[in-house]
Structure 1
Amino acid sequence: MKKEQLDFMKNEQGFIAALDQSGGSTPKALALYGIPEDSYSGEEKMFDLVHEMRTRIITSPAFSSDSILGAILFEQTMDNKIEGLFSADYLWEKKGIVPFLKIDKGLAEETEGVQLMKPNPGLDALLTRANEKNIFGTKMRSVIKEANPEGIKKVVDQQFEVGKQILAAGLVPIIEPEVDINSKEKEKSEELLKEEMVKQLDKLGENENVMIKISIPTVDNFYKELIEHPRVIRVVALSGGYPLEEANEKLAANHNLIASFSRALSEPLNANQTDEEFHALLKDSVKKIYDASIT
Structure 2
Amino acid sequence: MSVFEEQKTKMSTGQGFIAALDQSGGSTPKALLQYGVEESEYDGEAEMFGEIHKMRTRIITAPDFTDGKVLGAILFERTMRGEIDGIPTAQYLWEKRGVVPFLKIDKGLADKENGVQLMKPMPGIEDLLKEAKESFGIFGTKERSVIHEANAEGIKAVVDQQFELGKTVVAAGLVPIIEPEVDINSATKAEAEEILKAEIAKHLDALPEGDDVMLKLTIPSVDGLYDELADHPRVVRVVALSGGYSTDVACEKLAKQPKMIASFSRALAEGLSKKQSDGDFNALLGSNIDKIYQASL
For the aligned pair, the TM-score class normalised by the smaller chain equals: over 0.9
Q: Following the alignment from structure 1 to structure 2, what is the Cα–Cα distance between the partners of residues 74 and 33?
A: 17
Structure 2 residue aligned with 1:166: 169
1:39 offset after TM fit, Å?
1.7
Matched, 1:205 2:195: no
2:234 to 217, 224, 231: 231
Structure 1 residue aligned with 2:48: 46
1:178 to 169, 181, 193: 181
Give the 3-state SS of the residue equivalent to 2:238 in structure 1: strand
Give the 3-state SS of the residue equivalent to 1:196 in structure 2: helix
1:136 to 130, 135, 139: 139
Structure 1 residue aligned with 2:20: 18
Q: Following the alignment from structure 1 to structure 2, what is the Cα–Cα distance between the partners of residues 16 and 256?
A: 14
How many equivalent residue pairs? 294
The TM-score normalised by the length of structure 2 is 0.98
Q: Following the alignment from structure 1 to structure 2, what is the Cα–Cα distance between the partners of residues 216 and 8?
A: 22
The amino acid of 1:281's aligned partner reads L
Structure 2 residue aligned with 1:214: 217
1:128 offset after TM fit, Å?
1.4
The amino acid of 2:60's aligned partner reads I
The amino acid of 1:136's aligned partner reads F
1:68-217 equivalences in 2 (<5 Å): 68-131=70-133, 132-217=135-220
Q: Following the alignment from structure 1 to structure 2, what is the Cα–Cα distance between the partners of residues 98 and 140?
A: 17
The amino acid of 1:201's aligned partner reads L
Give the 3-state SS of the residue equivalent to 1:71 in structure 2: strand
Q: Following the alignment from structure 1 to structure 2, what is the Cα–Cα distance between the partners of residues 151 and 219?
A: 21
**CA-to-partner distance for each residue in 1:39-61, whole Å, 9 max, x for gaps?**
21100000000000000000000
Q: Following the alignment from structure 1 to structure 2, what is the Cα–Cα distance between the partners of residues 172 and 222?
A: 23
**CA-to-partner distance for each residue in 1:148-195, whole Å, 9 max, x for gaps?**
000000000000000000000000000000000000000000000000
Q: Following the alignment from structure 1 to structure 2, what is the Cα–Cα distance between the partners of residues 162 and 190?
A: 21
Q: Following the alignment from structure 1 to structure 2, what is the Cα–Cα distance between the partners of residues 122 and 57?
A: 30
Unaligned runs of 5+ in 2: none
Q: Following the alignment from structure 2 to structure 1, what is the Cα–Cα distance between the partners of residues 153 and 61?
A: 44
The TM-score normalised by the length of structure 1 is 0.99
Structure 1 residue aligned with 2:35: 33
Structure 1 residue aligned with 2:249: 246
The amino acid of 1:27's aligned partner reads P
Q: Following the alignment from structure 2 to structure 1, what is the Cα–Cα distance between the partners of residues 42 and 123?
A: 32
The amino acid of 2:126's aligned partner reads D
What RMSD, in angstroms, separates the aligned Cα atoms of the two structures? 0.5
Q: Following the alignment from structure 1 to structure 2, what is the Cα–Cα distance between the partners of residues 244 and 195?
A: 29
1:84 offset after TM fit, Å?
1.1
Q: Following the alignment from structure 1 to structure 2, what is the Cα–Cα distance between the partners of residues 237 and 266?
A: 16
Q: Following the alignment from structure 1 to structure 2, what is the Cα–Cα distance between the partners of residues 192 and 288?
A: 31
Q: Following the alignment from structure 1 to structure 2, what is the Cα–Cα distance between the partners of residues 284 and 36?
A: 25
Matched, 1:284 2:296: no
Structure 2 residue aligned with 1:5: 7
Q: Following the alignment from structure 1 to structure 2, what is the Cα–Cα distance between the partners of residues 202 and 36?
A: 48
**CA-to-partner distance for each residue in 1:226-259, whole Å, 9 max, x for gaps?**
1111100000000000011000000001102100
The amino acid of 1:11's aligned partner reads T
Give the 3-state SS of the residue equivalent to 1:25 in structure 2: helix
Q: Following the alignment from structure 2 to structure 1, what is the Cα–Cα distance between the partners of residues 183 and 132?
A: 29
The amino acid of 1:231's aligned partner reads R
The amino acid of 2:146's aligned partner reads V
Give the 3-state SS of the residue equivalent to 2:200 in structure 1: helix
Q: Following the alignment from structure 1 to structure 2, what is the Cα–Cα distance between the partners of residues 98 and 247?
A: 23
